[in-house]
A and B are shown apart, each in its own frame.
Chain A
Amino acid sequence: MKGLITMDDLTNDDIHNILADAQRLLPVARGETYLPLLQGRILGNLFFEPSTRTRMSFETAMKRLGGDVVNLGDVKTSSVVKGETLFDTIQMVDGYTDIIAMRHPRQGAARYAQDAARVPILNGGDGAGHHPTQTMLDLFTIQQSHGTLEGLTVILAGDLRYGRTVHSLSHALVRFGCRLIFASPELLQMPTEIVEDLREHGADVTETDDLLGNINQADVVYMTRIQKERFADEDEYAKVAGAYKLHARDLGNVKSEMIIMHPLPRVDEIHPSVDATRHARYFEQAFNGVVARMALLCRLLGIEVPAEIQGGEA
């Protein structure tokens, strides 16, 4: 495996092994112990569009493991604004770094960069395409809560059309035999080609516009943000978005172990009243971005995570 562009670059065994590495790295991610596995290595952070969590968690992951980070910086002041091609930018950064984490507004940019580069590329989001490192932290969070990835019922809700996190996650969940319920307004339904792909792989997929009517079946509810700019006018947005909001009072009859996830940032699709319930997992999920990316950085750089880590769980 060279880089991680889509979840197809990982086998189910790879996923289990990386999640196990991530589990052992938890005390390092929390700063309870220092383990400089990546000392002397440099990560190139190439974010061609805004990112808070992904960029910061890559940087934290690298630094917790003793490595260093160079940033592209603001695209507006870099050579990109002068018209440099992605190919040329990659040639340059390839020479400066040992591994590259990248986000780009164009779909396919990560695969293109991998074809142009010598070092591994970690896709941190390409247009409405894939976001596999987010998927790995999502899977880690699900496994942490349920003890397994197999056979769960997962509702993915909100903007399924443009949300790349739900595209990568659906593909991965289907590989573990999960049942998927896509709850979204018609305008923001999961792209047909993705639903067809999932069904070709034997997936049990239900499409609905009713989130609350299905919530009691779920082991996982994965919420996403519906963006105003997707709608022709504000009234239409308000009418539609209201159906994809969760409040603590909606959770009266849900399964006791059900978890609510969100890639963040949230706006008002999850009411703050949910934060204090046993179901909320989105802040742990954001933290897990560090540990999942630590495990991926080690894996792609060919560094073995020790079987036992001081301060780690037995």
Chain B
Amino acid sequence: MAEEHNMRRVTAIKNGTVIDHIPSGQALKVLELLSLSTDTSVPVSLVMNVPSKKMGAKDIIKVEDRELTQSELDRLALVAPESSIAIIRAYSVAEKLNVNLGDEVRNVVRCTFSNCITQNPREPLAHRLKVTRTDPLALRCHYCGRPQNMDELILNLL
């Protein structure tokens, strides 16, 4: 019942994407990761800190009229690896997707080490962070080899 009530805090969407089970307080970061904080072309609804049986508390995001792609959603693994995603068509769940980080995060964030070669914004090669552990997530820069500071990482989104 609680879950159902949460979903109704905002109107059901006709078409689009619902991102559920975002760790409480991380929804704003998710919006940033998916560039939804600056994209004003589609309606976005957000609920934060609502009760969840599975997580205690969680955030939910609904994006109308836009089906996020798998590669866009994979970026979520940086802050919300356990989130569940539903593609909605005509008010029904048409597809369920999972976040999948793979073994490398490419061109999503810049290395957090201040003396890494990739700090020069004019260097053209891809930003590459290797996944060294998934739970909890740990990343290392392909170039400088430094383990990433996960708190700072979100500030380095490309």
A residues near B, CB below 8 A? 6, 83, 85-87, 104-109, 111-112, 115-116, 126-130, 193
8 Å CB contact of A112 from B122, B125, B146:
B125
Residues of A within 8 A of B145 (CB): 6, 107-108, 111, 129-130
- The distance from the CB of A246 to the nearest CB of chain B, in whole angstroms, is 31
Binds A, one of B3-11, B80-88, B113-121: B113-121
A150 to B15, CA, bound (A): 65
Residues of B within 8 A of A115 (CB): 125, 143
A6 to B147, CA, bound (A): 16
On whether the beta carbons of B124 and A108 are closer than 8 Å, the reply is no
Main secondary structure of the interface of B (DSSP, over half): loop
8 Å CB contact of A193 from B118, B123, B124, B146:
B146
B residues near A, CB below 8 A? 111, 113, 115-120, 122-125, 141-147
Residues of B within 8 A of A106 (CB): 115-117, 119-120, 144
Contacts A115-B125, A116-B125; A85 near B142 (Cβ below 8 A): no
A86 to B145, CA, bound (A): 18
On whether the beta carbons of A112 and B117 are closer than 8 Å, the reply is yes
A209 to B118, CA, bound (A): 35
Residues of A within 8 A of B117 (CB): 86, 104, 106-109, 112, 126
Ordered by A's residue number, 26 sampled pairs between the chains whose C-beta atoms are within 8 Å are A83-B122, A85-B122, A85-B124, A86-B117, A87-B124, A106-B116, A106-B119, A107-B116, A107-B117, A107-B145, A107-B146, A108-B116, A108-B118, A108-B142, A108-B143, A111-B142, A111-B144, A112-B117, A112-B118, A112-B125, A115-B125, A115-B143, A116-B125, A126-B117, A129-B144, A193-B147
A127 to B141, CA, bound (A): 15
Residues of B within 8 A of A127 (CB): 115, 144
Given A83-B122, A116-B125: 11 more A-B contacts, CB < 8 Å: A85-B123, A86-B120, A86-B123, A104-B117, A106-B144, A108-B118, A109-B143, A111-B142, A111-B143, A127-B144, A193-B146
When C-beta atoms are compared, the residue in chain B nearest to A106 turns out to be B117
Residues of A within 8 A of B142 (CB): 108, 111
When C-beta atoms are compared, the residue in chain A nearest to B120 turns out to be A85
Residues of A within 8 A of B113 (CB): 107
The residue among B118, B119, B123 with the most chain A CB atoms within 10 A of its own CB is: B123
Residues of A within 8 A of B141 (CB): 108
- The distance from the CB of B70 to the nearest CB of chain A, in whole angstroms, is 26
Residues of B within 8 A of A126 (CB): 117, 144
8 Å CB contact of A87 from B111, B116, B123:
B123
Residues of B within 8 A of A108 (CB): 111, 116-118, 141-145
A215 to B141, CA, bound (A): 36
Residues of B within 8 A of A112 (CB): 117-118, 123, 125, 143
A85 to B121, CA, bound (A): 10
